[in-house]
Structure formats: structure tokens, C-alpha cells
Amino acid sequence: MSKSAKNLTLSAVKTSNRPAAETAASARLGESVVDRIGRTPLFRLERIGVEFPTVSFFAKAEWFNPGGSVKDRAAYSMIRDGERRGALRRGKVILDATSGNTGIAYAMIGAALGYPIKLCLPSSASDERKQILRNYGVEIVFTPGDEGTDGAIRRVREIYESDPAKYFYPDQYSNPANPGAHYSGTAPEVWEQTAGRITHFVAGLGTTGTFVGSTRRLKEFNPKIRCVSVQPDCGFHGLEGLKHLPTALVPAIYDSSLADENIEVRTEDAHLMVKRLAREEGILTGVSSGAAFWATFDLARRLPPGELAVMVTIFPDSGERYLSDRFWSEL
């Protein structure tokens, strides 16, 4: 027997002697769609902030998650937590209220894991979000648009209380696994991607999970990091996904003591920033991203002259889910 043939035979013997589980694992190619959640890129913004020479601007591009938004992190965390606790098992329907992105995350993950999804959604949600949910096969219960997510929350509670045995209700606004996803995932990624040089962290308030979880962990890494929350300037606004907390149902997971500062943003200013990001950086973001980055600029304007800063903003989703909004056609 030739040396090469002998080596081939020995290789085959070694493979055949492996434990069955090891052999199966080595033969499994590719990855599940849910394996792609997290580890999103951090973009460096180079043109839009040239008037602030001592500030480095960065954005966490959360639309690189497989479901297209930051909400993939929280939805997956809550679903897995429900499975671990035995609250979610085969035959149950995942039920929750959403303004769109968490619902899409539930829909994507539910399809991948084999769970049906039922969502309460404000009728004011963008057409793109509604169509995406329909395409995933989600059962949608529309609630009055002028009541926003608060109306959807009230309706989902009614549905759940009518038949609690049928549903798994994660309740993204009260579930600790929501901020937990950002404590264990988003914040360590930001810390690593900035080599620990981050000085400011900025995120919008919707469920508040992204801000709460990320801030808690970042403050553990470095208590001097200035963490700033962002919300609309009034209860009647056009910043889909964000809450004006003084006029809304405040999420149980929210901890106001974590914010070093809270900045309120006008809808019009967020729209203008979305356009600037697209036209000056080539980044097509959603409106809540525009609001968060406007707030980041506001921080930069107020820095003491010459102070160096590394500012990181969360961009929850891309602008593709908002292309039907009229502001795109306005000057």
C-alpha cells in the first residue's frame, strides 16, 4: 500500500472512531439565521461632523441583524428566556404589542424556531413594516394609530387575559431579558469596537431596553462614560419606535437614574438628519436613528472647546422601512 493510500485509510479510521455527535457537528455546514443576531458593525462617520474636529462619531449599524433591526437582540433573548423558564413551549402562540421592529424580529425568529406569532400593532405603523409582517405570516391586530404603542399594549393585555394558557406574552416593555440582551451583547461589542475609548453613548427610548441594558454595562466598564437618552419633544410626534415618556405608559424596565442627560428631539430635526446621513455619509437610516444622531450633534456643540470625544450612537434600523413617509419628498 502506498504511503498516500495508507494515510487516507488512517484518516478514514480516525473519522469513523469519532463520537457520533462530533462527526455530525463537523459535517454541519452554514449557520442558522438566529446565529447571525448581534456582532453588528460600528461605522465611522467621516464627513457629516467635520465642524467638530475633536469629536469622533460612530454609529452601531443594527440593521445588519438578520431581521433588520436592533430588536432582533431583545426578541431572541426574551424567546430563549421563555423557553428556559418553561413559559414558552410547542403549541403556544407568541403574543406582544409592537410599533413594528420587535414584531418583525418575533416574526423572523418565530418562523426560524417554529412558533406562530400574533401582534397588536398601531395602524400608523409604516406600510413597509405592515407588509413585512404579513409576508412572515403573522396574525396582526391593528389598534388606533393615534394611541401609538400604548393602545397596542392595552389591547394585547386584553387578548392575553382572555386566554393566558394559549399565549406566551413576553411583554417587551417589562421583561428583564430585553435590557439583558444589550447588557450582555450590545455594550460589550461597543466597548470592544472602540478599544475602550468611548466617552459618550447615545440611544433613543422606546421600550428603553437598548439604553438601559447598554448603559448599565458601559458604566461598569467605565463610570465616566456619559450616557444620554433621546426621546421626542412631545406626545404627538412622528418618530416611530420612540416614546415621549412624560405622556406615555412608562416601561417597567426603564431606570431614569441611568441617564446622565435626556435630550428631546423634534420630528422635523430627525427627518433632516436622516437626509443628511443619506446624502453626506451614504447611510440610509430610520427616523429614530436620525433623532439619536441629532442629539449626538447637540452634545458635540456643547462640549468645552478642544475636548476630545468618542461618541457612539445606536442606529436601530435602516431607512428602507420608511420610504413611504412623505418627508423624503420634502426639501
Catalytic residues: 71, 288
Cα(188)–Cα(211) distance, integer angstroms? 13
CB atoms within 10 A of CB 8: 12
Cα(173)–Cα(167) distance, integer angstroms? 17
Cα(285)–Cα(267) distance, integer angstroms? 14
Three-state DSSP at 116 gives coil
For residues 121 and 99, the answer to whether their CB atoms sit within 8 Å is: yes
Strand order in the sheet with 55-61: 42-45, 55-61, 309-315, 200-204, 226-232, 261-265
Grid coordinates standing for 169?
A: 406574552
Interhelix angle 71-85/101-113, nearest 10 degrees: 50
Cα(139)–Cα(117) distance, integer angstroms? 6
- Provide the residue type at 252 as one letter: A
Three-state DSSP at 183 gives helix
Cα(214)–Cα(222) distance, integer angstroms? 12
For 86, list phi and psi in degrees, rounded to 5.
80, 5
Grid coordinates standing for 266?
A: 423634534
Cα(244)–Cα(230) distance, integer angstroms? 9
